[in-house]
Amino acid sequence: MEKQTPAFYFFRRPALPVSRFDYRTIRQLLLFAVVCEEGSFRRAATRLNISQPPLTAQIDELENRLRVRLLERSPRGVKLTSTGLAFLPEVQKFISQAEQLDRSLKQIRGGQRGIVTIGAVTEAMLEWVPACIARVRNEHPLIAVYTKSIDSVEIEDAVANNDVSFAIGYCGSVSKAGLKSFCLRLEKPVVLFSKTHPLANVENITWDDLKQEAWVFTPRTTSPNYFDALYGLCKDNGFTPDIRYEMGSVMQQIAFVCCGQGTALIPESFVKWIPQAAVAKAIKNTRATLALTAVWNPAVHSVHRDTVLQALGVVL
């Protein structure tokens, strides 16, 4: 499939220049991102429908203006320098914000006056966010809702920096001053076995049955509260889990278990999405510890955000 290049890759210099910032840099940053994606000036020039020499000149000018070397050139293509590797995520963030601005303008032109961006973990995007969007579209058609995928560990910063209108994830209570949270659902974990596992046909699973298992967890670096809740349950029941694999989402955990590569603890609400290659079992004497939470910044006044939060069931 042919890659499409957003229209804003072709910004023209404004008629009234701003003295503190050279707006040619914006276009050059966008061109730099395309070169990185394509891995060569030739392919990037083809995608942008321009000739290669002017493209190369633009990137050279960008590096001279920034006084850094971003790319290493070779006959086989380009490779990011260490500086380029550190710089590219910031450029990608800028592009994401530009794309959001482009969408917002289109919605405003189309008569949709409210724009709300939800930052959400994968688990929330499977159920809570689609249901919320459907309700908002039905009850508040002038509000457009977009979703941004984030990890639970990123939620507080994303909300505090106003990168998203609000966020949903397994973050428990908030630590940043000024932010508010609301527990959307508190649930128990269930244990997930592959269908061929010796315990797959056992009716009553206890924590003692699980002490020798090889586990598939989500990493603490992406969801500290979620990890700590499950790890703490294991410790409270007399064992330290032998974590063999770490997966970025519950769906990836399920996939690994289906392949017979470990056992997982997952939220009980995921039982409805488990394929035939796996079996979920309740664990006796297990308390609800997994809190799916909405987080927002009340200092930022937004009627549209509050409307969407209420559609989720949040009590403001």
Half-sphere exposure of 253 (CA within 13 A, CB side): 28
Q: Report the predicted TM-score, pTM, of the whole model to 2 decimal places.
A: 0.66
Half-sphere CA count of 65, side-chain side, radius 13 A: 14
Task: Give the C-alpha separation, 249 to 217, whole Å.
Answer: 9
Residue whose C-alpha is closest to residue 169's, from 133, 222, 220, 132: 222
Please, which residues bridge with residue 145 across strands?
Answer: 116
* pLDDT in single tens digits along all 316 residues of the chain: 445 555 444 444 444 444 456 778 888 999 999 999 999 999 999 999 999 999 999 999 999 988 999 999 988 889 999 999 999 988 888 888 788 777 767 766 665 568 899 999 988 999 999 999 999 999 988 888 999 999 999 999 999 999 999 999 998 788 899 999 999 999 999 999 999 999 999 999 999 999 999 999 999 999 999 999 999 999 999 999 999 999 988 999 999 999 999 999 999 999 999 999 999 999 999 999 999 999 999 999 888 999 999 999 998 8
Extract the tokens encoding 153.
């560990």
User: CA Rg, the chain, in Å?
Assistant: 24
One-letter amino acid for residue 238 of the chain: G
Tell me how many degrees the CA angle 164-168-173 measures, rounded to the nearest 5: 110
Q: Which domains does the chain have, with CATH numbers?
A: 7-103 (1.10.10.10), 111-185+292-312 (3.40.190.10), 189-287 (3.40.190.10)
Helix (H) or strand (E) holding 68, with range, is none
Q: Cβ contacts of residue 47 below 8 Å, gap of 6+?
A: 3, 5, 34, 38
List 181's β-bridge partners, or say none: 295
The structure tokens 């977009």 sit at 146
Quote the distance between the C-alpha of residue 187 and its chain's center: 22
How do strand 143-149 and strand 114-120 relate by DSSP bridges? parallel
What does DSSP assign to residue 12? P
For the chain, the residue count is 316
